[in-house]
Each structure stands twice: as structure tokens, then as C-alpha cells.
């Protein structure tokens, strides 16, 4: 065993009795996919129509004619009115989402992105129209048209990005088949739509088909692929009495399943609903982004006004030039990228988490998890498997191998329902058969295996029969000091070996603890077991501290005790008897929830019983926050850099940003923010 750092232990003067209480919840379903799809379609249509109309606007604009060297070749009587007509169509049709948006924002007293765009394009349109009908100056309809085109394109890209981020949820929803093979009373098979399935129905799932509903296998044997649902990469063997999840893919065998959950109660629908709730739940980082957007809104309006006044008062430039500067400032300051910075990261992170069996119920708690100082694990079922298994086999006779000791003992224990016997049988490497089996009341069992009389007995049997342990006394004492259960094996009344059993430590536990400690997180354990067992588990996986002999109602007190040290604490348990501790902790993480995803007291629900997922969700929280901050810095930093350029501070050096170029740069920042969010990955 590798050496671990020093850890502390704490003991309560009572042993824990597990109290399993099932907690469930029902979720409300909200479907925004159709609305998003309509908006994507609307922006796409407006963009293409406006772009087509922009072509004659460009060709009829004197500045573009001059730039292209067309001179007077496209000039004709009334051309400025034709230019005004096309521009008016682009303004009212292409600009409608922004004109409609400003009304909604001002009505809600929340000026923002739409307000900025609407003010900018309205200012440009009204001024240019006035020029057409007699005001002295130069109109810039081409800038107006290209500005609207680019804004429509930016919004179309944004909506597509948001839709794309939720694609994982759409893929989850598509996992469900449309029909099921229902077994009716006379044994006949009837194909029905899955909406008509009810709890208690029996269905046939053929090889290669998708499971249509959550249920229990009543007949058949197969391996089922649940990777898209739980993140578990290996197919899971299923036999009678085991659960199957709707949406999983059946392997080579046929299964008869009794339906238990359908519709909104099903695992898949609960996952989709939890992810939607998480995407819509309030985020502190989102609040920061919203406050920044409001500030930028006022900066834009004030900046545009000051820019207009400064150019008119402090320079000899024309009014139309001053208006152009003011419009450019308003466009550049628009918090378009800022509005996308956080929501897109939220959508991407929750979708990534869901497809890996990491379900976020509370976004604020998920964000807090990046600051965790200490994590407290429940032992049984979290760090350990919650069932007996063989940890050590010792041979007292050089002519008898450890494998023989274990395999012969397993043969004798085959017919026993005792947890220790089951643990021995499960750990055997070869199957042997027993005859003349006989139980030794309170002491063990015996029988004949391959001609030998094999006895599997307790330490009390050895004491009663005055049988001495020939060698390895210190090894046996060490096993007892670790709180392990030790049984002895006799061949023909001769003591040949010993088998030690304990609640098996999950193979992933040590790696999970190492990962968390590498992140600077203290790892602790709560258990109702005695201090010998607790010390053995803590030593094996290198925990910093452990609390032994803690009753269920005392777990929350232990969380408070650790919090009183000034540490941000996460509690990780099975979500059943750990409910008070999960609620008391700063972040409650329920592990091994399986198909029972609606655990009220947990902030985060991990589907698999894998402690490494705890490290994964904390790593994802840190990566998500990092992406949010990167996006916020890009959006606001971009504005801080671009606003002075838009106002014309570098005019003397020949650097001037037109409204259209400003819109290009602003849309570019939006695209960069979207790409950065999409780059988020689960380590």
C-alpha cells in the first residue's frame, strides 16, 4: 500500500443504524425548443431578404459608386427616392426585431441590447430620410442597411448557438423509441405507441432495440448499453429483477420488462427537466453580466450624445459626420456579446454534465462548488460498495494455494444467504461443487469438495475446539485491527488458511481522493462504522480526516463543525439517509442515485456510484466559471477598447470606424464568445 499523508480521526460513542428514506419529486415540463426554432427561422429569413435588398442600396449610394469608380453611370432622375424606398423596407422589415425589442425593454424599464440597436438604426434612418427630403447633408443608407444585415446575422448566429448548445438534450429526447411491443393477456404481441404504456404493462424488448420505458426485467438475459443516459461506458448485464432505463439500447438477448415509470416520471424525462431547470435557474455570474449590460446601455446612450456634441462643438465637421460617429459609438457599445457570454456557457456545461450522468439541480450551488475547501464523503455505498467482499486470503500450509482455499470455501458457502458467504462466493476464481453439506449452527458450515471434508468456520469454532493458528498470528491480528471479518478454512480437520472480508473499497475511490487533494481540497469521511474499519478505509485511500461511529442525525452536526473552521464544505452521500447532511453542506452531492434522480436535498445528482464523478463535477464547475469570466472579459474589454475608437479619438491618425465596421467587430466578438463557450470540455 502506498504511504498516505497523516489524517485525523474522530469517534462518536454510538454505532450507526442505516435509515433509508426514499425522497422523490415531480417536475414541471417547459418546452422552449419550438420558440427557439421559430426565432432562428425568423432571423434567417429577415437576414437573407435584407441582404438581397442591400445590393441595390449599395449600388445607388454615391459613396459606393465613387469607391467602385462607377461615376455617374448609375445616376438617374429620382434615384435618391428609389434608394430611400429600398432602405425603408430594410429598416422596417429587417429592423423590426430591434424596433419591437426596444418597446419591450422600455416597457419593462430594462433598457439593453435591443434599445441600443434600435436607437442606432433609428437615428441613422431618420437623419438619412431627412437628407433625402431636403435637409443639407450626406445620407448613409448603405451603412444603415449593412448594419441591420450584420445585426440580423449576429442574432441568427446567437440563436443557432443556443440551439446547438441544447442539442445534447434533443439527442436525449430522441433516444426514446416511438412504439413498444406490449404483451397482452393471451401472450400475443401488440405494437402500441409508447404514450399508451402504463405502469404494470409487460413489454418485449428484442435484440438491438431501444428500451421504451423504465421498468424491471421479469424474464430474459441481456447486456444493455446505458452510456447515453448515465455515462457508463460498458454495457450492463441485465437479468430478472434488475432495473432498465427507457432510452437504453438492448444487446443480443431478448428481455421481458414490467413497466414501472412512464412519461414525466421516467428517468429520461427527469434528466431533461433537471437540465432545463438548471439552464433557466438564476446564476450569480449571469447577474453580474446583466448589471454590466445595463451599465453599458447607459454608457452607449451617454457616449453617443457626448460624441455628437463634441464633434459639433469642438470640430468643424458636418452634422452628418457627427451623427455617424454617434451611431458608431452606440453600435460598438451594444452588449450583444455580453448577453451571450454567460447563458451559452450555462447551456453547454449543463448539456455536457447531463450526457455524462452529472445532473445539476441548482446552478448557484454548482458555481459555489469551484470554491470547495473540504469534501466529506459518506463511507458505505459511496467510498465503498456497501457489500462484503474478500480483501485478504492467507495460507497456513505451503502445499495449499490461496486460490484453493478461497475456491473450496466458496463451494461450501454456495447455498448460504449470509452476506459473508455471498462475499466469499462472489470472490471465488473457479467454481467447485459441494456434497454432504451441513451447517454448524452459529459457527459456520462444512461439506465435501473433491473428496476433502472442507469446513468454513468462525474464530469461536477454533477457540471451542482449541485449534491453534500455526503461523502468521501477526497477520491475523493486523486484519482484526483493520476491523475486518476473519473466517478460517479447514481441510479434513486441519487448519489450512484464513479469509478476511470487509465492505469492499471502490477501486475508483483512491484516484478520486488523489484528484481532489491535487486541487487543494481536504478529503474527509463520515461513517457509523467503528474506528478500526474507518481507519482502515482512511489509510487505504489516503483521507485527511475521518469521523467514526456517527449516527445519521449527527452527520449534519459534523458538517457544521467542519464549516465552523471557515471551510466551504461539500457533502457526498447516497442521498437517502444523508439528507440532513446534504442540506446542511454548502454543496450537497448525491452519488449513485441510479434512476432516482429527483433527490430533493442534493444540489448535484451523480447517476453512477463512482467517486471520480465528484472530482469531475468540481473540475467542470471550475472550467465553466473560467469560461464565463473569459467571455465577460472579452465582451466588456472589447467595449472598453472599441468605444474610444468609435468616438474618433484616433481621427488625427486616419483611423475611423464606420457603423458597418463597428457592427462587424461587434458581431465578431459575439462569434468568439460563442466559440469559446463551445470549447468547454469535461476533463
SS (H, E, C) 235-276: CEEECCCCEECCCCEECCCCEEEEEEECHHHCHHHHHHHHHH
Cα distance between residue 231 and residue 235, in whole Å: 11
CA 82 to chain centre: 54
Residue 430 neighbours by CB distance under 10 Å: 11
Cα distance between residue 572 and residue 559, in whole Å: 11
SS (H, E, C) 337-376: HHHHHHHHHHHHHHHHHHHCCEEECCHHHHHHHHHCCEEE
DSSP per-residue codes, 415-469: T--SHHHHHHHHH-SS----EEEEEETTTEEEEEETTEEEEEE-HHHHHHTTPPP
Residue 264 contacts residue 335 (beta carbons within 8 Å): no
Residues contacting 247, CB < 8 A, separation 6+ = 172, 175, 176, 210, 211, 228, 229, 267, 268
* DSSP helix/strand/coil, 324: helix
362 is catalytic: no
How are strands ordered across the β-sheet holding 374-378?
8-11, 545-548, 522-526, 374-378, 569-573, 587-591, 604-606, 358-360
Strand bridging mode 214-220 / 236-238: unpaired
- Residue where the block lists cell 412519461: 263
Cα distance between residue 59 and residue 384, in whole Å: 74
Nearest in space to 137 (alpha carbons), one of 325, 326, 324, 318: 318
Residue 488 neighbours by CB distance under 10 Å: 24
Cα distance between residue 561 and residue 556, in whole Å: 9
* DSSP helix/strand/coil, 562: helix
Residues contacting 162, CB < 8 A, separation 6+ = 36, 343, 344, 347
Q: To 10 degrees, what angle do helices 79-89 and 113-132 make? A: 160
Q: Active site residue: 149, 201, 214, 378, which one?
A: 378
Residue 10: burial class (beta carbons within 10 Å; 0-12, 13-18, 19+)? middle
Cα distance between residue 472 and residue 459, in whole Å: 15
What single-letter DSSP state applies at residue 579?
H
* DSSP helix/strand/coil, 318: coil
Catalytic positions are 378
Amino acid at each position: 500500500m502506498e504511504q498516505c499523508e497523516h489524517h485525523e480521526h474522530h469517534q462518536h460513542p454510538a454505532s450507526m443504524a442505516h435509515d433509508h428514506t426514499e425522497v422523490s419529486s415531480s417536475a414541471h415540463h417547459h418546452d422552449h425548443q419550438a420558440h427557439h426554432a421559430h426565432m432562428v427561422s425568423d432571423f434567417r429569413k429577415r437576414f437573407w431578404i435584407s441582404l438581397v435588398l442591400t445590393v441595390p442600396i449599395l449600388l445607388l449610394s454615391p459613396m459606393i459608386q465613387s469607391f467602385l469608380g462607377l461615376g455617374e453611370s448609375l445616376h438617374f432622375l429620382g434615384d435618391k427616392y428609389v434608394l430611400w424606398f429600398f432602405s425603408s423596407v430594410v429598416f422596417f422589415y429587417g429592423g423590426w426585431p430591434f424596433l419591437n425589442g426596444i418597446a419591450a425593454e422600455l416597457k419593462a424599464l430594462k433598457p439593453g441590447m435591443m434599445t441600443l440597436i434600435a436607437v442606432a438604426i433609428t437615428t441613422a434612418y431618420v437623419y438619412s430620410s431627412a437628407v433625402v427630403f431636403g435637409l443639407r447633408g450626406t445620407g448613409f443608407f448603405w451603412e444603415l442597411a449593412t448594419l441591420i444585415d450584420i445585426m440580423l446575422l449576429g442574432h441568427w448566429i446567437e440563436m443557432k448557438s443556443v440551439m446547438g448548445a441544447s442539442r445534447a438534450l434533443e439527442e436525449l429526447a430522441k433516444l426514446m423509441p416511438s412504439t413498444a411491443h406490449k404483451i397482452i393477456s393471451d401472450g400475443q404481441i401488440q405494437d402500441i405507441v409508447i404514450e399508451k404504456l402504463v405502469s404494470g404493462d409487460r413489454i418485449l424488448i428484442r435484440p438491438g432495440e431501444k428500451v421504451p420505458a423504465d421498468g424491471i426485467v421479469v424474464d430474459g438475459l441481456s447486456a444493455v448499453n446505458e452510456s447515453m443516459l448515465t455515462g457508463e461506458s460498458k454495457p450492463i448485464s441485465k437479468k430478472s429483477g434488475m432495473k432498465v432505463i427507457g432510452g437504453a439500447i438492448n444487446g443480443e438477448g431478448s428481455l421481458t420488462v414490467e413497466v414501472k415509470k412512464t412519461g414525466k416520471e421516467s428517468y429520461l424525462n427527469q434528466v431533461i427537466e433537471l437540465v432545463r431547470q438548471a439552464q433557466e435557474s438564476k446564476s450569480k455570474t449571469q447577474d453580474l453580466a446583466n448589471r454590466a449590460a445595463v451599465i453599458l446601455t447607459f454608457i452607449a446612450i451617454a457616449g453617443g450624445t457626448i460624441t455628437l456634441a463634441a464633434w459639433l462643438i469642438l470640430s468643424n465637421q458636418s452634422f452628418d459626420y457627427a451623427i455617424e460617429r454617434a451611431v458608431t459609438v452606440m453600435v460598438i457599445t451594444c452588449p450583444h456579446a455580453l448577453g451571450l457570454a454567460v447563458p451559452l456557457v450555462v447551456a453547454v456545461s449543463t448539456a455536457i454534465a447531463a450526457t455524462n450522468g452529472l445532473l445539476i439541480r441548482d446552478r448557484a450551488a454548482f458555481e459555489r462548488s469551484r470554491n470547495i475547501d473540504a469534501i466529506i464523503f459518506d463511507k458505505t455505498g459511496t467510498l465503498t460498495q456497501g457489500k462484503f467482499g474478500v480483501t485478504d486470503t492467507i495460507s497456513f500450509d505451503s502445499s495449499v494455494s490461496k486460490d484453493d482455499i478461497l475456491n473450496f470455501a466458496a463451494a461450501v458457502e454456495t447455498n448460504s444467504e449470509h452476506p459473508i458467504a455471498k462475499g466469499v462466493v462472489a470472490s471465488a476464481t473457479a467454481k467447485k461443487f459441494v456434497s454432504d453439506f451441513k451447517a454448524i449452527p452459529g459457527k459456520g458450515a462444512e461439506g465435501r469438495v473433491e473428496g476433502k471434508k472442507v469446513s468454513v468456520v468462525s474464530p469461536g469454532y477454533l477457540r471451542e475446539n482449541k485449534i491453534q493458528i500455526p503461523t502468521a498470528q501477526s497477520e491475523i491480528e493486523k486484519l482484526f485491527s483493520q476491523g475486518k471479518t476473519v473466517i478460517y478454512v479447514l481441510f479434513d480437520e486441519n487448519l489450512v488458511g484464513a479469509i478476511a472480508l470487509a465492505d469492499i473499497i471502490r477501486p475508483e475511490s483512491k484516484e478520486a481522493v488523489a484528484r481532489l487533494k491535487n486541487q487543494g481540497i481536504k478529503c474527509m469521511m463520515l461513517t457509523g462504522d467503528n474506528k478500526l474499519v474507518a481507519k482502515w478505509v482512511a489509510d487505504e485511500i489516503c483521507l485527511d480526516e475521518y469521523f467514526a461511529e456517527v449516527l445519521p442525525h449527527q452527520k449534519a452536526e459534523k458538517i457544521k463543525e467542519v464549516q465552523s473552521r471557515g471551510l466551504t464544505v461539500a457533502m457526498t452521500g447516497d442521498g437517502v439517509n444523508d439528507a440532513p447532511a446534504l442540506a446542511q453542506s454548502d454543496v450537497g452531492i448525491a452519488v449513485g442515485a441510479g434512476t432516482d434522480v429527483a433527490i430533493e436535498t442534493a444540489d448535484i445528482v451523480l447517476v453512477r456510484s463512482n467517486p471520480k464523478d465528484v472530482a469531475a463535477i468540481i473540475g467542470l464547475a471550475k472550467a465553466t466559471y473560467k469560461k464565463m469570466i473569459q467571455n465577460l472579459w472579452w465582451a466588456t474589454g472589447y467595449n472598453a477598447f472599441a468605444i474610444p475608437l468609435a468616438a474618433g479619438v484616433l481621427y488625427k491618425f486616419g483611423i475611423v470606424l464606420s457603423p458597418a465596421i463597428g457592427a462587424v467587430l461587434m458581431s465578431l466578438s459575439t462569434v468568439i464568445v460563442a466559440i469559446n463557450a463551445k470549447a468547454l470540455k469535461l476533463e
